[in-house]
Amino acid sequence: MSERHRIAVCPGSYDPITNGHVDVITRARGLFDEVVVAVVAHSLRKAGTTLFELPERLEFITAATGHLDGVRVEPFDTLVVEFARRVGASAIIKGLRAISDFEYEFEMNQLNRRQAPEIESVYIMASPEFSFVSSSGVKELATFGGRIEGLVHPDIARRLQEELGRTRKS
C-alpha cells in the first residue's frame, strides 16, 4: 500500500513575505510532502492595494523559500478552499502570532469548513523570534527608516528601502 502525497496550502497576501512567514512555511514543509505558498492576487479584507504587485511578490517568495525542497509558489484569485482542492491539498496552514490572529482564523476556519469539510485547517504558532513580525509592521519600519535586517530576506529589505525608506541618520 502506498502512502498518499500530502499537500498543504499556505495562503496569504505576502506583501511582502517576512522571515516569520518563511519560518511557518519551513515548519509546514516538515509536516507535509509539499507546501504550496498560495499568493492572493487581491484582498477584499484589507483597504487599499498591496505595496508590491503580484509578480514581484511571487519573486520575493521564490527567493525567500528557494532553499526549501517541496515548496512551490502559485497565485490564486478564488476561495482558498477551491484553490486547495485544485492543487490536491488536504490542509490549509496558517501561522498564529497572537490572540487576535486566532479570533480571525477561527472565524475563517468555520467558513472554510462549511465550504470544504474535507480540508483541515492546521495552525502553526509563531516562533518566539518572529511573534511580533508582520508585513505591515515591516513596511512601517521601512517607511520611517527603522532597521528591518533579519525580519525579511535581504533582497526584500533592499526593495522596501527603495520603495518606502527614508535615509536613516545615525
Q: What are the extents of the domains in the chain?
A: 7-128
Q: Taking 80 as the threshold, does the pLDDT of residue 165 lie above it?
A: no
90-127 residue pLDDT tens: 999 999 998 888 888 999 999 999 999 999 999 999 99
Q: Taking 50 as the threshold, does the pLDDT of residue 170 lie above it?
A: no
CATH superfamily for domain 7-128: HUPs (3.40.50.620)
Q: Taking 70 as the threshold, does the pLDDT of residue 140 lie above it?
A: yes
Q: Taking 70 as the threshold, does the pLDDT of residue 44 lie above it?
A: no
Arithmetic mean of pLDDT over the chain: 90
Which is more confident, 52 or 1? 52
DSSP E strands in 78-140: the ranges are 91-96, 120-125
51-63 residue pLDDT tens: 899 999 999 999 9
Q: Taking 90 as the threshold, does the pLDDT of residue 166 lie above it?
A: no
